[in-house]
Amino acid sequence: MRPISYSRATDAAGAIAVVSADPTTDYLAGGTTEIDLLRQNVLTPRRLVDINELPLAGIDDAPDGSLRIGALTRMSEAAVSPLVRERFPVIAQALEMGASPQLRNMASIGGNLLQRVRCSYYRDAVSPCNKREPGTGCSAIDGFSRGHAVLGTSEHCIATHPSDLAVALAALDARVHTRGQDGEQAYGIDDFFLTPDHTPHREHPLQHGELITTIEVPTAPVARRSMYLKVRDRESYEFALVSVAGALSLVDGTIADVRLALGGVGTKPWRAHRAEGVLLGASADRESFASAARTEMSDARPTTFNAFKVELAQRAIVRVLETLKANGSPA
Amino acid sequence: MTTAIGAPLDRVDGRPKVTGKARYSADVPMPDMAYACLVNSRIANGRVTGIDTSEAEEEAGVLAVLTHENLPRIASQPPLVPSLAGGPAPGETFFPMQDEVVHYGGQHIAMVVADTYERAQHAAALVRVSYEESPPVTTIEQGRDQAYEPDAIFAGFIPGRTERGDVRTGLSQADVQVEATYTYAGNNHNPIETSTTTARWDGDELVLHDATQGVNATQLTVAALLGLPLSKVRVKSQFVGGSFGGKAMIWHHPALAALAARKVGRPVKLALTREQMFTSCGHREVQEQKITLGAKDDGRLTALRHHKLSPTSPFDNWAEPSLNAAGQMYACPNYEGVYRLFRANTMTPTFMRAPGDATGMFSLECAMDELAERLGLDPLELRLRNFADVDPASGNPWSSNGLSECYERGAARFGWHDRDPRPGARREGNWLIGTGMAAACYPVTPPNTPQRARARLYADGSVVVQASTPEFGTGVATAMAQVAADALAVPVDRCRLEKGDTDFPQIAAAVASSGAGMISAAVHLAATALRDQLIAQAVADSTSPLHGANPADVVVRDGVMAAGSASESYADLLRRNLQPDAEAMGTWNPPPPDTPYGMATFGAQFAEVAVDPELGLIRVRRMTGAFAPGRVLNSKTVRSQLMGGMLWGLGQALLESNHMHPATGRWVNSSLGEYLVAVNADAPDVDIEIIEVEDGVVNPLGVKGVGEIGQVGANAAIANAVHHATGRRVRKMPITIEDII
């Protein structure tokens, strides 16, 4: 591992100033992905500023029913929060299906959104990879791409965004609040994650040194009847091949409100706007569910190894909608 | 009298292991320790055209950078012989860093030694290597046309082709034929402890602490590679953190650690990284197997043809022996088994749990399931109709069998006979439920050399037995205390195994389920010899109450020898004679290869799966295994090993797969995040019954071993259950979501 200097931040403004001033300095939060990648020479900062002692943990309940989740709240803390479980079960489920208990005890909510892709070619520090070394090419497109994306891909990168939490947040129109040299910012979650296009090394719009402080989840009565379905080979400790975050509200058998987002298939947490468009106002039956799923996946660009995801994602969408429908009206 | 053997004793080393007190090969503290890190080839075929080590050498703390340009040449390359044979046992007949040629991805091409691990690792990343790269051959599709039939695999131990009867005639006599091709992903061992060697020179004497399945195998191999007298190489290995075959052969790192330590004049620790574990100690090779079965209408087999195709390294004719158990499982007069190999840019593959038979029996047992369906026979009934009364491979009687009882008891426990044979007939919500079964068989392979142990009884009545074997998770220290206790008739808590050191009497590498049988044989003989020696001493001792008694009349209980009303304890005998202790050796001469018996362990596996056909999910709900492993030394550790084996079968059936990137010849899934092994959440209820059978041939206590048999057939039972649930035959491992949807 490269020699690295380490310091512990005691106030946010100081930390932001230090990191912003030096492109070779990075923040360290839970470290559950970052340390692995440092050891493998995939990330190569010279300095780390540990932000774990900054007062950015905890979950606040706003009068309007929205939640503000501090960026340093641990995944396990957020998952057990009664506020989260009651209002946004899809978030709690997504958190509990991510990683392992040990990792969830360490990993922060802010870090979860910024976790790096699981593409083996990115992580081996050797293969050509446009995300790690822009301009070297993408090894995955002609390589082993079973876990890779079919939506939002480009000829430069097909890596899947790995977060489960971000899929749930995408379905709920969460906002990411940050603080940087230029003051505070807020990003809609859909704008926070970038598709690779020509710049796969750019995964989000943050300036270097801009620090995530809070995740805001706006009030959403529909989310009380929400769920997260994660399809994977083994029961625990595996990233999604396909996942679906969904919420559904029916009035007289007609879809009055619906939220859908996909994981495991997109280069970013994939809000299924087109499927939602088909569903809103439609009757809640298998035919509309299937039609919505087909519409959402119609632009998919699969490889030999991940072609099954196009069909699997549609089936997972239908399964989630049918399950939500069968579960009855929200309390 | 109650016996210690068979009791479900807790592991004597459980507490030190879970509290961190047990010392593994990376935990041995030494003053002035240095650390070695390996640099690996990023290409799979070609040559190194230049290595720039200047940047690495300038880093603080770096003591040496070794490459093919300055690493000493090895003294000799011993041939590849399985470590059970008791000789040098290199994992492949190639030693790295002897020239600039690159044969496979991940090949060691440089080694950096520094005063801390972190500095060595950092400097290793600064070694700049340039290559001339040629296209590699890595996949079956690339190599199929170049395949050849080797005379023999396994250093001549196993012929490339085996025939009995005439398989064409057998097929022509058949009423029904089943032909199917099965493909297998490459598998990696993934023990928790990565392979590690700590090397120290004391003058011209070398001491290695090595994570190995056999300290003598390490000693013999390193001595041959470095040209050292065996008396100058001592290898210790108290605890090994799992192996599963990855530490069964001796790979390059122990000799490299020794060379590094000699170069820098300090002790050197060389621990492979997790990623290096995928390219430094062998793997189960990618393979394809084709089975052709011929049977009469009543189910009796008339022919079995079993062909295997797999890649091997440029240096060795290696295939895991997949045609062993499958060739002797059923009474079938006409048989043809053929290995075909092709040269590829891979290291030599190696043993991995249930080597060969995990795949060979999968092919056979899935084909048998297809045959049962074709014939409209219950799969269990088909197997009973083909029961082999004698070993079909030799015509010899079995040393012991127990398979019928395994079928019967396993089926009863599982509830097999309530099964509706129609595929896809049982549904629970989104899930289709299916059950499947398979036979299990694993050969008993005695070692080729005498196995030795020493027993010592101290004057306080406590007992130490010594044998060179390491403990790599099997519970050998516990089981051997039980063996010694019964042979000497002393309480088991008075007995202790000293192990893991070439200074102790020699035990071959504990591989192929041979450990419990051969070590217990040596310990039993040593302890029995000591008991007889003490009785003989007592009856000859004019001051002993037992003086003049017939040794045959002396019985021992709790360390007290008695003949009629006269008695004396071992301890009293020694103390009165001012002897601090008494010792005896035990030497077991294993049955020779021409022993006129078929020797194998049998079992029966049953599995119930739930399949979500829309989402492609397969979840194993419960597994039952009934096994006949001969004498059980410790029913708790035996059960644990069988359960572990069955769960390995689950992992192989549904999860474990490495994938080769054909263009670069590198494995893609080289981490525990991406190479999937079964986790607790995947583990169903596992129900195990042990059928005890007596065996007077295999070894003195009739122990046949449980290291592999739990895995054999478990994968096929699951695949057959998936078919029963869905009606779909998936002829590959692992079976994954895309095979189902």
pLDDT at B1: 52
pLDDT at residue B103 greater than cutoff 80: yes
Residues in CB range of A96: below 8 A, 6 or more apart: A79, A104
With an 8 Å Cβ cutoff, are B615 and A319 in contact?
A: yes
Global pTM reads 0.97
Residue A198 lies in a domain: no
In tens, the pLDDT along B53-64 reads 999 999 999 999
Q: Name the residue ranges covered by the structural domains of chain B.
A: 32-134+191-243+247-278, 146-187+283-445+595-740, 447-588
In Å, how far is B29's CA from the nearest CA of chain A?
22
* CB-CB contact of B686 with B647 (8 Å): yes
pLDDT at B155: 77
* CB-CB contact of B301 with B372 (8 Å): no
Q: ipTM greater than 0.85, yes or no? A: yes
Q: What is the mean pLDDT of residues B416-428?
A: 96
Q: What is the mean pLDDT of residues B676-697?
A: 97
CATH of the domain spanning B32-134+191-243+247-278? 3.90.1170.50
Q: Domain containing A293 — which CATH number? A: 3.30.390.50
Neighboring chain B residues of A233 at a CB cutoff of 8 Å: 654-655, 676, 734, 736-737
Residues in CB range of B211: below 8 A, 6 or more apart: B24, B25, B26, B193, B194, B195, B196, B197, B237, B240, B241, B243, B247
pLDDT at residue B352 greater than cutoff 80: yes
Fold exhibited by the domain B146-187+283-445+595-740: Aldehyde Oxidoreductase; domain 4 (3.30.365)
Spell out where B8-99 has E strands. Answer: 34-40, 46-52, 62-67
Give the mutation candidate from A2, A138, A144 for the B interface (greatest B CB count, under 10 A): A144
Mean pLDDT over the full length of chain B: 97
Q: How many Cβ atoms from other residues are within 10 Å of residue A271's Cβ?
A: 24
pLDDT at B344: 98
Q: What is the mean pLDDT of residues A151-157?
A: 98
pLDDT at residue A331 greater than cutoff 90: no
Confidence band, pLDDT 50/70/90 cuts, at residue A218: very high
pLDDT at residue A329 greater than cutoff 60: no
Fold exhibited by the domain B447-588: Aldehyde Oxidoreductase; domain 4 (3.30.365)
In tens, the pLDDT along B19-32 reads 999 999 999 999 99
The distance of Cα A54 from the centroid of its chain, to the nearest Å, equals 23
Selecting among B365, B614, B708, B738, the annotated active-site residue is B708
* CB-CB contact of B295 with B176 (8 Å): yes
pLDDT at A1: 74
The tokens for B450 are: 């005498």
Span between the terminal Cα atoms of chain B, in Å: 59
In tens, the pLDDT along B187-213 reads 999 999 999 999 999 999 999 999 999
Q: What is the mean pLDDT of residues B703-728?
A: 98
pLDDT at residue A59 greater than cutoff 50: yes
Residue A24 lies in a domain: yes
pLDDT at residue B629 greater than cutoff 70: yes
Residue A184 lies in a domain: no
pLDDT at A2: 85
B429 touches chain A (CB under 8 A): no
Residue A274 lies in a domain: yes
pLDDT at residue B483 greater than cutoff 60: yes
Confidence band, pLDDT 50/70/90 cuts, at residue A328: low
The alpha carbons of chain B give a radius of gyration, in whole angstroms, of 27
For residue A155, the number of C-alpha atoms closer than 13 Å in the C-beta half-sphere is 1
Report the number of distinct structural domains present in chain A. Answer: 2
Q: Looking at chain B, how many residues does it have?
A: 741
pLDDT at residue B404 greater than cutoff 80: yes
- Between CA B48 and CA B109 the distance in angstroms is 8
Residue A65 lies in a domain: no
Q: How many inter-chain contacts (A to B, CB under 8 Å) are there?
A: 84
In Å, how far is B739's CA from the nearest CA of chain A?
9
In tens, the pLDDT along A108-145 reads 999 999 999 999 999 999 999 999 999 999 999 999 99
With an 8 Å Cβ cutoff, are B673 and A142 in contact?
A: no
| Residue where the block lists tokens 């559904």 | A248
Q: What crossing angle do the helices spanning A286-297 and A308-326 adopt, rounded to 10°?
A: 150
Q: What is the mean pLDDT of residues B540-544?
A: 98
* CB-CB contact of B176 with B232 (8 Å): no
Of residues B121, B659, B734, nearest to A144 (C-beta): B659
B381 touches chain A (CB under 8 A): no
Q: Domain containing A34 — which CATH number? A: 3.30.43.10
Give the mutation candidate from B42, B194, B620, B737 for the A interface (greatest A CB count, under 10 A): B737
B708 a catalytic residue: yes
Residue A309 lies in a domain: yes
Residue of B nearest to A230 (CA): B615
B190 touches chain A (CB under 8 A): no
Neighboring chain B residues of A1 at a CB cutoff of 8 Å: 118, 121-122
Of residues A41, A118, A233, nearest to B736 (C-beta): A233
With an 8 Å Cβ cutoff, are B125 and A41 in contact?
A: yes
B32-134+191-243+247-278 shares its CATH topology with B146-187+283-445+595-740: no
pLDDT at B711: 98
pLDDT at residue A316 greater than cutoff 80: yes
Confidence band, pLDDT 50/70/90 cuts, at residue A330: very low
Of residues B655, B670, B671, nearest to A233 (C-beta): B655
Surface of B (665-694) touching A: CB under 8 A? 666, 668-671, 673-674, 676, 678-682
B394 touches chain A (CB under 8 A): no
Residue A38 lies in a domain: yes
Q: What domain range includes position A30?
A: 5-53
pLDDT at residue B617 greater than cutoff 50: yes
Residue A292 lies in a domain: yes
Residue of B nearest to A308 (CA): B738
Q: What is the mean pLDDT of residues A8-26?
A: 97
Confidence band, pLDDT 50/70/90 cuts, at residue B437: very high
pLDDT at residue B231 greater than cutoff 90: yes
Q: Between vectors from CA B22 to CA B17 and to CA B24, what angle results, nearest 5°? A: 115
B654 touches chain A (CB under 8 A): yes
